[in-house]
Amino acid sequence: MAQLLDAVDQERLAINPSLKRKSELGQFLTPSSIASFMASLFDKDTMSHPNILDAGAGIGSLTCAFLSRLVSEGLSNQAAITAVEIDEILREKLFNTLSLFEDTLNLNSQVIAADYIEWATNVLLDEESLLSSSNNKIRFSHAILNPPYKKIMSNSRHRKLLRGVGIETVNLYSAFVALTIELMEDHGQIVAIIPRSFCNGPYFRPFRQLLLEKTAIKHMHLFDSRDKAFKDDEVLQENVIMLLERGEIQGEVQVSTSRDDSFSDYEVNCYPFEKIVQPKDSEFFIHIPTSNEESFIERYPSVCFSLKEIGVEVSTGPVVDFRVKGHLRDMPEDGTVPLFYPNHFVGTLTEWPKVMKKPNAVFVDDEMKKWLYPNGYYTVVKRFSSKEEKRRIVAGVLTPSSVNYAEVGFENGLNVLHYQKQGIPAELAFGLYAYLNSTEVDKYFRVFNGHTQVNATDLRTMKFPSREKLEKFGRWVMSNSDTIGQEEIDQKLEEIL
């Protein structure tokens, strides 16, 4: 069986550069090492006479891994396969992959030449079953998939089709998984490798809710290195491999890690579900702990307040520069006010104006005035960090003395912590700055955030110390700002907590 997997993997490497619609379809073909690991996650006692779905099957790497396991472990002598693939070039190779098992398995295989979203929504709506002329609903016992990764526009045909079956989501990968969940029989198992970005953020909330309501998460696997899962495609998206079971009661979750797709340093731990999705979390954020050590929140129960509870609000910077091009100015001039971007904030300092590619100011008229804030103390957080940055959360502080203007603008690349669109007390602004820049908070944030974006919703969902402790932290920062480094921030936070 290993020879079969190697042969299919060589086919993947050969065909990968010739794919003409790779960007359009969001295609990333699965390496054999990952395919084999994914197939290994299915519960052995469920694999007798399986009815398997491979959504976006490519050349059949995942199906090959599943069938290889059936044969090598003697789990079944027969299987039904439904492989859906839109790309004609890949379908030709898919037929070749399935033919490799003709002599070892009684295989009932169907290759569907279709857009998976169109096919699956048709099946679910019973408008036209592409597999059966009977009225019986099509349901699968197993599904294995590496879905495409591409955004779905809100006015697209795909979005309309998905809404027709009650699915609201923003990316092809979550659409594929949501449809697959709906196509599973009771206790049917799904193994999928998908970007980790669905774990948090407002746009994936309906998808998280559907996943948590209709399946139990049984296993999650993370790669320590962001660029190893699909290294042949130079993909830098952090991925998670998940084993889900439809209609199962949620229990403990196994979480495994490895540095890369060799799995040579594979480790696995078990966690209660409360550590994966926190009770009463209305956003259904999915946390992926990678150590049995007590988390920051568990060590310090006093870190239990939301921003709202400490009297702070957070908003995305309201000035979207490409929408107000006519108002932008490279440097301040008469009739303008400062426009702040993330790189204007360095530690506790505001460096403005600054020689850079972005503008430093915005011209004020009646149209622009509604997007401005009064000058004051504000904590700001970068929305986007580069993939090379060590920190996920990077905070700064605006002080009113740093610019001699009554009003200021915050660009859309910043999250702004404020109160009713006004500044907040100085000691609170500096306390939030130091807390958000602590090592413990950065580690805590990474447990539920798998990409380089920090959304306002993420900050609203996070836990903070009391306002009094944050203000104490802030007063310390203000009296020691010239000598504070990372180590000092971390030591002082522990002392205050």
pLDDT at 27: 52
pLDDT in tens, 94-152: 988 888 888 899 999 999 999 999 999 999 997 444 444 445 567 999 999 999 988 99
Q: Which top CATH class is 2-292?
A: alpha beta
- Structure tokens that stand for 65 in this block: 């891994």
- Structure tokens that stand for 13 in this block: 């490497």
* C-alpha span between 336 and 474 (Å, rounded): 31
Q: Where are the beta strands (DSSP E) in 334-471?
A: 336-340, 345-346, 349-350, 361-363, 373-374, 378-382, 395-398, 407-410, 414-418
pLDDT at 429: 98
pLDDT at 270 over 70: yes
Confidence of residue 432 (pLDDT cuts 50, 70, 90): very high
- The H-or-E segment that residue 487 falls in is helix 486-496
pLDDT at 8: 56
* C-alpha span between 255 and 131 (Å, rounded): 36
Q: Are 470 and 310 in contact (CB under 8 A)?
A: yes
CATH 3.90.220 for domain 308-496? yes
The residue whose two tokens read 């974006």 is 453
pLDDT at 2: 59
Burial 137-165, CB ≥16 within 10 A → b, else e: ebebbbbbbbbbbeebeeeeebbebbeeb
* C-alpha span between 260 and 56 (Å, rounded): 24
| Better pLDDT: 291 or 360 | 360
Q: Are 450 and 195 in contact (CB under 8 A)?
A: yes
Question: Exposed/middle/buried for 217, CB within 10 Å: 0-12, 13-18, 19+?
Answer: buried
pLDDT in tens, 65-104: 999 999 999 999 999 999 999 988 889 889 888 888 888 9
Report the candidate in 151, 158, 276, 242 with the shortest Cα–Cα distance to residue 203: 151
For the chain, what percent of residues have pLDDT higher than 90?
71
pLDDT at 232 over 60: no
The residue extents of the domains of the chain are 2-292, 308-496
SS3 46: helix
Please state the separation of Cα 273 from the chain's center in Å. 19
| Better pLDDT: 483 or 60 | 60
Which of 64-78, 164-178, 285-299 comes out lowest in average pLDDT?
285-299
Pairing of strands 140-145, 51-55: parallel
pLDDT at 136: 57
Question: Exposed/middle/buried for 343, CB within 10 Å: 0-12, 13-18, 19+?
Answer: middle
**Helix count and strand count (H, E) for the chain:** 16, 20
Which of 172-186, 329-343, 380-394, 414-428 comes out lowest in average pLDDT?
380-394
pLDDT in tens, 444-496: 888 777 666 898 988 998 999 999 999 999 999 999 977 889 999 999 999 99
Look over the chain and give the mean of its residue pLDDT values, rounded to a whole number.
89
Which of 242-251, 266-275, 380-389 comes out lowest in average pLDDT?
380-389
